Chain A
Amino acid sequence: MNVLSTYLSRFYKFFTGEIFVLPSRTTALLLCLFLLIFPLISPNDFILRVLIIASIYAIFAASWDLLSGFTGQINFGHAIFFGVAAYTAGLLNYNLGLAPWATIPIGALAAVLVGLIIGIPCLRLRGTYLAFATLAFPLILLGIIQAIPNITYGELGIPRVDPLAGSRVATYYIVFPSMIVLGFIMWKIADSKIGLVFHAIREDEVTARASGINTTRYKLLAFCLSGLFAGIAGGLYAHFVNAGPSTLELLLSFQVIIWAVFGGIATIYGPIAGVFILYPLQKIVLTRYLGVPAELTMLIFAFIVLIVLLFMPQGLITWLRDKTEKICPRCKLQNVATRSECRVCTAELD
């Protein structure tokens, strides 16, 4: 009993001290909770489908952020990780009958391998060169997939991949919590020493190297980590939608950057929020709730992205964060913008 109450009070303290002090964290928590109970409120299959795909893409967008947002190694061909994992998972499932719990990790490992393969040569490339070179990888793979249809099933994609779970609601309860957990892990990585080094590489690689950091190793690590998470997303996608050429298309590589930049890069939560705002907006909200004719959604979608970025070039979530929060100059903790002194060290906030 005593133990329980200690835990409860710790729990309570954590919530009041770490979460409820900031509106952003409170909102995030509430939205997570809301989405967790969402199927109980409205178990509409289509809305759940959109939310499941949004969760998968959220993992994917966050993984792009981990690589490109944090280390500044802009990846224009991020779909390669997604597609390789989706195809690996799909083929293993279709040909060997492996279950999703086996195919998804193997698919993710395949994506890590791809991260290594393209990471090593790409280490020599910098900036825009890297961006354009990475663009080529998924497109070349697409050509190969077209060329050997007896193995890859060509443009039709893998005929049948087993679903993740029997029902839509069950699938939702697999994918959505996975997204929360994976997102949290990525956020923790970004917040750790590794994340700090990634930041340093983006800001000034030469200086980072001069400070004794093996930047090559860290950049490779970024490629592999990013591949891992993107791979998990790809594997989930294969088992939910399917594994076909659309998982490697240029459109997807561009789309992931749109989501990430829209939300705000180098935050992890920015891209996740970006997906959860933009994807349902494009798929349901515009047509169903705002009465936009279906053929205009893409145009309006592009306009929204353009306008938002024009006024908030750092991304929507970053902008909101900067408006509502201040960072304490002494202890670097976030504070509500209305406060005049830091909530922990009571230093004066400007």
Chain B
Amino acid sequence: MKIVSKLAIILLIACLVMMGVSCGDEEEANELKVGVIGPMQFQMGEHHWMGATLAADEINAAGGIQVGEDSYQIKLVQVDSNELVSVPDAASAAEEAISVDNVDVLIGTIRSEAALAVQEVAMDYETIFMVCGSSETAMSEKVAEDYDRYKYWFRITPVNNTALGNLNFLLVGAVAQKIGAELMMAPKLAVFAEKASWTEAIVAAAQAYLPPQGIEVVGVWQPSDKATDVTAELTAIEAAGANMIMTALSGPVGIPYSRAWEELQIPAASVGINVMAQADDFFVNTGGFGNYEMTLNSLARDVALTEKTLPFIEAFIAETGEMPTYNAGTYDALYVLKEAIERADSVDMDDIVVELENTDYNSVAGRIVFDDNHDVTWGPGYVTALGVQWQDGELKGVWPPADGSWNGVAYEGIVDYQLPPWVVEFWTQ
């Protein structure tokens, strides 16, 4: 009996002590805690963190966020969502950040499943959550359905699924034109999309709308987003007689795809979305393959979308040695937040939301204005995104065309799209 009760008491005390420690996190005055949530062990998460760090350092150095007489310093909290490995971890991490670390705002996430889960948690706590990585429309639809609950949610980057679909078709159109002009042939398109919710609309729309525009769709290939070898799929695409491939890839499958595409010299120009091809180390990761691949991107090294673009890219490269991906949109997120807080002149979440809705901010990626569903607006004069192509190992901006033929939008630093030489060679022989 004695040992028993002793043991039990020791256990109880140990537990109590632990709980006591857990509640010791005091918030300091005049500090805005921002949780940067992302897969911190992967490049996407690193870019989330770096983008936010740059902005926070700049803002803090310039005196912080002014609210009335006070100035608030931004304090970043790194939140590892582990979402690429285990989706449920993301919601857990978000809740830990909010309820234990007392963050006031969350920014980040990349995978749609995880972003949706984090959205629910953040809304439970009426915490502002700005997505920098997932395009899932289901999130903004929730704002429309239940505004009072979901009004704390905003999307900074990328543009939503619908806009991505439109962009994809614009890029496909540009390449199809090139094929028509240079190869004198009708475009025949193979759709290569990972099986995921965000590609569904794109795949369906491609089959419905492209044929009437004179672009024949020869087939749809849907590998898993984690497939590590797609040579078989690509060979099948070649056999189907395609001269263009429209990609919709966000997962690691983008690497083996690009690699086999150039190595097997598949005679079809590759255009669309390949998130893996947006990163600087793409060429290293594919072992030097993937030249001439075209993908959607938010930034390109020499393209000045606004006056802030190039300085940011320079600063980011100086810090990390890498070109920022769209996940580094956390940089814009913090500035958007700062401006909203200063306009609201309050740190009350509801006040900030009102001012966030009134955002009209010239960011690194273009002019950020939120639509009714808190999605970043896409279109000429707003965030447009870019078509970029790998040319001789460098990522060059190739769309919108330099002549301003797309709604008069023309950026400095855009170059011409080049058809892959092996494609030209194959079809002209």
Chain A residues at the B interface, C-beta cutoff of 8 Å:
20, 23, 26-27, 30-31, 34, 41-42, 44-47, 49-50, 53, 146, 149, 153-157, 159-160, 241-242, 244-246, 251, 283-285, 288-289, 294-295
Minimum C-beta distance from A153 to chain B (A):
8
Chain B residues at the A interface, C-beta cutoff of 8 Å:
1, 3-5, 7-8, 11-12, 15-16, 18-19, 21-23, 40-41, 80, 86-88, 91-92, 95-96, 99-100, 112-113, 116-117, 120, 136, 138, 142, 195-197, 200
Beta-carbon contact of B99 and A23 below 8 Å? no
Beta-carbon contact of A26 and B40 below 8 Å? no
Beta-carbon contact of B92 and A154 below 8 Å? no
Beta-carbon contact of A20 and B4 below 8 Å? yes
Q: A34-B15, A149-B200, A295-B80 are in contact. Are A23 and B40 (CB under 8 A)?
A: no
Minimum C-beta distance from B134 to chain A (A):
10
Q: A26-B8, A44-B100, A155-B196 are in contact. Are A242 and B117 (CB under 8 A)?
A: yes
* Residue with the highest number of chain A CB atoms closer than 10 Å, among B88, B138, B142: B88
Specify which chain A residues have a CB less than 8 angstroms from the CB of B7 in the assembled complex. Answer: 23, 27
Kindly identify which residue among A23, A53, A154 contacts B197, using a CB–CB cutoff of 8 Å. Answer: A154
In the complex, 6 of the A-B residue pairs with CB atoms within 8 angstroms, ordered by the A residue number, are A20-B1, A47-B100, A49-B92, A244-B87, A288-B21, A295-B41
Q: A27-B11, A41-B19, A47-B19 are in contact. Are A156 and B136 (CB under 8 A)?
A: yes
Beta-carbon contact of A49 and B11 below 8 Å? no
Kindly identify which residue among B16, B86, B91, B112 contacts A156, using a CB–CB cutoff of 8 Å. Answer: B112
What DSSP secondary structure best describes chain B's contact surface? helix
Q: A41-B16, A49-B95, A146-B195 are in contact. Are A295 and B113 (CB under 8 A)?
A: no
Q: A46-B96, A157-B113, A295-B41 are in contact. Are A31 and B11 (CB under 8 A)?
A: yes
Kindly identify which residue among A34, A157, A251, A288 contacts B86, using a CB–CB cutoff of 8 Å. Answer: A251
Looking across the interface, which residue of chain B has its beta carbon closest to that of A324? Answer: B3
Q: A20-B1, A155-B113, A289-B18 are in contact. Are A30 and B196 (CB under 8 A)?
A: no
Specify which chain B residues have a CB less than 8 angstroms from the CB of A146 in the assembled complex. Answer: 195
Specify which chain B residues have a CB less than 8 angstroms from the CB of A153 in the assembled complex. Answer: 197
Specify which chain B residues have a CB less than 8 angstroms from the CB of A44 in the assembled complex. Answer: 19, 22-23, 99-100
Kindly identify which residue among A159, A242, A244, A245 contacts B138, using a CB–CB cutoff of 8 Å. Answer: A159
Minimum C-beta distance from B399 to chain A (A):
29
Q: A44-B100, A156-B138 are in contact. Are A246 and B87 (CB under 8 A)?
A: yes
- New contact pairs (15) apart from A30-B12, A241-B88, CB-CB < 8 Å: A23-B3, A23-B4, A23-B7, A30-B8, A41-B16, A42-B23, A45-B99, A153-B197, A156-B138, A157-B113, A159-B142, A245-B113, A246-B86, A289-B18, A294-B80
Beta-carbon contact of B18 and A156 below 8 Å? no
| Separation of A156 and B195 alpha carbons in the complex (Å) | 12
Specify which chain B residues have a CB less than 8 angstroms from the CB of A49 in the assembled complex. Answer: 92, 95
